[in-house]
Structure 1
Amino acid sequence: MTDWLSRYRSGRRDAVWHELRQLGSGVRERADEARAVCEEMARRARHNVELIVERLTAEGYRFHANNDEQTPATPHIPPTENAEAHLGWMRDRFGTLPMTLEAWVRIVGDVWLVGTHPRWPTSAGADPLVVEVERPCSSEGYRRYLEEEHEAWAQEPDGLFEFSVAPDQLHKDNTSGGSPYGFVLPDGCADGLFAWDGGPMPFVSYLNRVFGDGGFPNHTGTEGEWWIKHQLAQDLLPL
């Protein structure tokens, strides 16, 4: 059998993800091997998140909510002791979860990079990385909202159900916009399909694109933006 984890660690990541995706839900027959790759991916993603937050904080970046008051926000909340129970609730309500989503919840936690950079005032418009799965669902009201959305979809499933984990690019900048970003569920594959403004794509592909731009994949055209993003992306680990 192909040793996916060893090949992933040796740098053959694209080939490994291709093989995992080609198996579709059949990857569950080798779940332990596939899960090991997804967890290694999540550990690398957490390293990247922590490094970006550290660098932004050192630059005087203000992490805040996407509201008029710009309420201070916590950029990274590691998984809590309830993470596994939360995944169980998600499976019960929405079906099988992709392994990369499960690994993110168990290892990375919730990420909110919306804010304002002192030398880049339009940074909130650059689609900063947000992936919040556990924290929003600690609210019973939000859980009911998701369940009602799923029930409405199930009555007329004319498209794909998306489990929301982030506001879209415009809402992050406190502007009326489109649909939230999220995972298409249910999904028994190793890497889930992530729906965002750039179009649906595998979650890991989305993360690599975001980390390649230091956590800010959109371009606002502000002077000095490129150099700030270049510095943020230095030495981040490819997934």
Structure 2
Amino acid sequence: AAEPLSAPLAGQNDEMDELEDEAGPRPLALVAFWREVGAVDLVGMHPRWPGGLDPLVVDPPEGALAFLFDEEDDEGAGQFAGLAPDDLHKDNTSGGDPYGVRLPSPAADFLFEYERHGLLFVPYLRLAILEWGGFPGLEGRDQPFPPLDELRAGLEPF
């Protein structure tokens, strides 16, 4: 099984440069995430956990390059880079568009497209990690999720 947290890889700067060459400037928040964190993938199944947890995933630059598409709807709309599968794909169900970023985007932060909260990337990370322990699909559930306190223990606000 893959590790849930993947440190930045040696060749990822080349991949980030390639992404910029193909799609234009990337938001600073995404570049900083890739340089400092690397990638995260909490997808998996636990026999006692419910489905629909929408586990946190942020693919590395290599993943963004693999899911880079021209936006065909609007003239000059740029490109879309997928950064994470949608909540249904994370549960092994055919779903919708991946969560991602529209490029070029020379901004500090960016709208994390197709994620249901409609947040910028950094506020989304705060919600997903600090409030829901990496599982923002817990929001709005009536049933308590006993591991939540342990998942959030020791997390520093950012």
What percentage of aligned pairs have identical amino acids? Answer: 37
* Structure 1 residue 103 corresponds to structure 2 residue 53: no
Question: Could you list the per-position Cα deviations for residues 150-185 of structure 1 after superposition, in whole angstroms to 9, with x for gaps in the alignment?
Answer: 2xx268448674310110001100011111000122
Work out which of the residue numbers 209, 213, 229 in structure 1 matches 2:148: 229
| Partner in structure 2 of residue 117 of structure 1 | 46
Instruction: Write the letter of the residue equivalent to 1:198.
Output: R
Paired residues of 1:97 and 1:187 also in contact (CA < 8 A): yes
Amino acid at match of 1:233: R
1:131 maps to amino acid: V
The question of 1:218 aligning with 2:137 is answered yes
The two structures have a TM-score, normalised by structure 1, of 0.58
| Distance (whole Å) between structure 2 residues aligned to residue 89 and residue 82 of structure 1 | 11
CA distance in 2 between counterparts of 1:102 and 1:238 reads 20
How far has the Cα of 1:195 moved from its partner?
A: 1.3
Whose helix proportion is higher, 1 or 2?
A: 1
The question of whether the paired residues in 1 share the 8 Å contact of 2:29 and 2:108 is answered with: yes
Q: In structure 1, what is the equivalent of residue 120 of structure 2? A: 202
Q: Is the 8 A contact 2:23 2:79 kept in 1?
A: no
Q: Considering only CA atoms, is the larger Rg found in Structure 1 or Structure 2? A: 1
- 4+ residue runs of structure 1 moved beyond 3 angstroms? 154-161, 220-224
Cα distance in 2 for partners of 1:199, 1:185 equals: 20
Within the alignment, does 1:193 sit opposite 2:111 as a pair? Answer: yes
Q: Structure 2 matches for 1:50-61, cutoff 5 A? A: none
Matches within 5 A, 1:64-79: 72-79=1-8
1:181 aligns with 2:108: no
Asked whether the equivalents of residues 15 and 62 of structure 2 are also in contact (C-alpha less than 8 Å), the reply is no
Unpaired stretches in structure 2, ≥5 consecutive residues: none
Deviation at 1:99, TM superposition (A): 0.5
Q: How far did 1:107 drift?
A: 1.4
**C-alpha offsets along residues 78-109 of structure 1, whole Å, 9 cap, x if unaligned?**
11111211111111111111111111111111
Q: SS of the residue aligned with 2:9? A: coil
What's the TM-score once normalised by structure 2's chain length? 0.85
Q: How many residues align?
A: 156
Equivalents in 1 of 2:114, 2:26: separation in Å? 18
Deviation, 1:199, is: 4.2
Q: Go from structure 1 to structure 2 and tell me whether the alpha carbon gap of 1:160 and 1:229 turns closer, same or farther (over 3 Å shift).
A: farther
1:81 and 2:10 equivalent?
A: yes
Alpha-carbon separation, structure 2, partners of 1:117 and 1:223? 17
Distance 1:222 1:118 in 2: 19
Matched, 1:91 2:20: yes
